[in-house]
Amino acid sequence: MIHIDFSHFTPPSDWVQRQQRAMQRLLEARVNGNWRDYIDSRSDLWTDLKPYLSALSRQKCWYCETKAPRFDYVVDHFRPKKRVRHANGTECEGYWWLAFDWHNYRLACDYCNSQHEGEDEEVRGKSDFFPLLHEDRRIHNPGDNLDDEMPLLLDPVVDGDYALLWFMQDGLPYPADEEGTFQYQRAETTIRLLNLKDERVAEARKALLLRCQRLIDRGEKTYLHYCNGSPAGMIEYKNICREIHELVAPDAEYSAAAKAFFKSSPLKWVRDLV
């Protein structure tokens, strides 16, 4: 997961005008009872913002950080727009008034957004799920305060949420906080619901972390030469530092895993780089 900074994002002005007109029509459709059809008919609104959202993440899925140049990402509604499904099989009305609200949009790969069968034959994917810590505090009306809810899904646009996932050398994500805590529950729910332990993604992260380890091994030797006054050691050390910076850069695939790996190094020069 990567952190997406929405603070400087503004949709194009013509889009905002279309959104405002659509919101008016949606309120009318609520009265007429055909609001679900109207939401479906205006998918152009969130689809048209896709290039802007993609630019914010340097073409990576906001949830799993997969970068697929030929893959057509989808715009996920963080709070489901038409219905919310519960783990026990029941469902309730979705957050319809957020259907055209760009603050509710997250760029996602199809694998995170839709339901797929995992290697263990269990079906996972965000879909219409939006679990809360307290279901009885779920809001159902536009005037209600979203902050009254405690979402169990980690949110890329909330600063700090991405850091609640930690990655080990096996390429798998784990909750960063202690078991039994609320943040552990959120990380565990996110990993499970979005299938972040998917074998293919885990293998890609594992290969990346092996590359990170090889860089550290090379860097440790050259760092010692550098500290002993070797110009060649200094040049090689600088090259390794540049490579490490590239792996943790926001546009690098699975940069959160690389960052976690370097941060957990016992070597100070490595930790100081990230």
- Quote the tokens at residue 126: 């965000």
Q: Exposed, middle or buried, 182 (CB in 10 Å: 0-12/13-18/19+)?
A: exposed
At residue 101, φ and ψ (nearest 5 deg) are -95, 115
Query: Considering only residues 61, 153, 157, 202, which one is a binding residue for Zn ion as defined by CB under 5 A?
Result: 61
Q: Exposed, middle or buried, 174 (CB in 10 Å: 0-12/13-18/19+)?
A: middle
- Quote the tokens at residue 261: 């790996």
By CB under 5 A, which span of 46-54, 64-72, 76-84, 246-254 interacts with Zn ion?
64-72
Inter-residue contact 92 to 83 (CB < 8 Å): yes
Closer to Zn ion by CB, 18 or 67: give it.
67
63 is a contact residue toward Zn ion (CB under 5 A): yes
Query: Considering only residues 1, 64, 172, 202, which one is a binding residue for Zn ion as defined by CB under 5 A?
Result: 64
109 is a contact residue toward Zn ion (CB under 5 A): yes
Shortest CB 187 distance to Zn ion, Å: 16
75 is a contact residue toward Zn ion (CB under 5 A): no
By CB under 5 A, which span of 27-35, 103-111, 204-212, 222-230 interacts with Zn ion?
103-111
74 is a contact residue toward Zn ion (CB under 5 A): no
112 is a contact residue toward Zn ion (CB under 5 A): yes
By CB under 5 A, which span of 108-116, 123-131, 159-167, 178-186 interacts with Zn ion?
108-116
Closer to Zn ion by CB, 63 or 162: give it.
63
The site that binds Zn ion (CB under 5 A) totals a number of residues, namely 5
Closer to Zn ion by CB, 63 or 97: give it.
63
Shortest CB 146 distance to Zn ion, Å: 24
191: nearest Cα among 261, 122, 124:
124
How would DSSP label each residue in 113-178?
Answer: HS-EE-TTS-EE--TTB--BS-GGG---STTS-GGG--BSS--TTSTTGGGGEEE-TTS-EEESSP
Q: Is 162 helix (H, G, I), strand (E, B) or coil?
A: helix
Closer to Zn ion by CB, 166 or 254: give it.
254
Q: Residue 81, Cβ neighbours under 10 Å: how many?
A: 22
The residues of the shown chain that bind Zn ion, judged by CB under 5 A, are: 61, 63-64, 109, 112
